[in-house]
């Protein structure tokens, strides 16, 4: 879990700096006629962001509009799939459909383009790799032996 949390922090910073360097708005802002979100929880947020991007609200530089690339929503879902698969392989039948629906929801609601999900998965994959590398480099305990396994209860079994 520490590795996953570290990866989320890294991914947040990567996506934030990418969004600042290459700001772009999601499809709900370019083609609002395609996304009628009145009566939904996203509707007021879209209007708030439209007002913010138009300069009708005080600019705080903490929220410079709705960045369309990469999707950290999709990246976080991917992180959950990877982390849960490591521990409970059977969880894939739950996490993969949830991941796909999460990705489709960001597109359906107009917050992201389809390709933004690819960027989110890529950023999270890099973040997980960096976090794992950092965790191994900073670990004071020796790496696990390939000749012995541990169960979830922590008991050690010799594989020979």
Choose the most confident range, by mean pLDDT, from 29-43, 64-78, 123-137, 144-158.
123-137
Classify 145 as helix, strand or coil.
coil
Q: How far apart are the first and last CA of the chain?
A: 30
Contact 145, 153 (CB under 8 A): no
Q: How far is CA 149 from the centre of its chain?
A: 31
Q: What is the model's pTM?
A: 0.64
Is pLDDT above 60 for 64? no
Using 50, 70 and 90 to split pLDDT, how confident is the model at 100?
Answer: very high
Helix (H) or strand (E) holding 32: none
Rounded Cα distance, 155 and 150, in Å: 5
């Amino acid at each position: 879990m520490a590795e996953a949390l570290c990866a989320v922090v890294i991914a947040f910073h990567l996506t934030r700096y990418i969004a600042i360097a290459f700001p772009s708005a999601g499809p709900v802002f370019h083609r609002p006629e395609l996304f009628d979100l009145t009566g939904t929880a996203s509707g007021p947020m879209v209007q708030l962001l439209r007002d913010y991007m138009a300069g009708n609200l005080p600019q705080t530089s903490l929220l410079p509009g709705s960045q369309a690339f990469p999707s950290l929503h999709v990246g976080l879902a991917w992180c959950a799939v990877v982390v849960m698969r490591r521990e409970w392989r059977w969880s894939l039948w739950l996490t993969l459909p949830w991941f796909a629906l999460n990705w489709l929801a960001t597109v359906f609601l107009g917050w992201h383009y389809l390709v933004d999900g690819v960027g989110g998965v890529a950023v999270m994959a890099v973040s997980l790799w960096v976090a794992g590398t950092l965790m191994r480099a900073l670990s004071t305990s020796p790496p696990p032996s390939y000749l012995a396994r541990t169960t979830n209860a922590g008991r050690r079994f010799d594989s020979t």
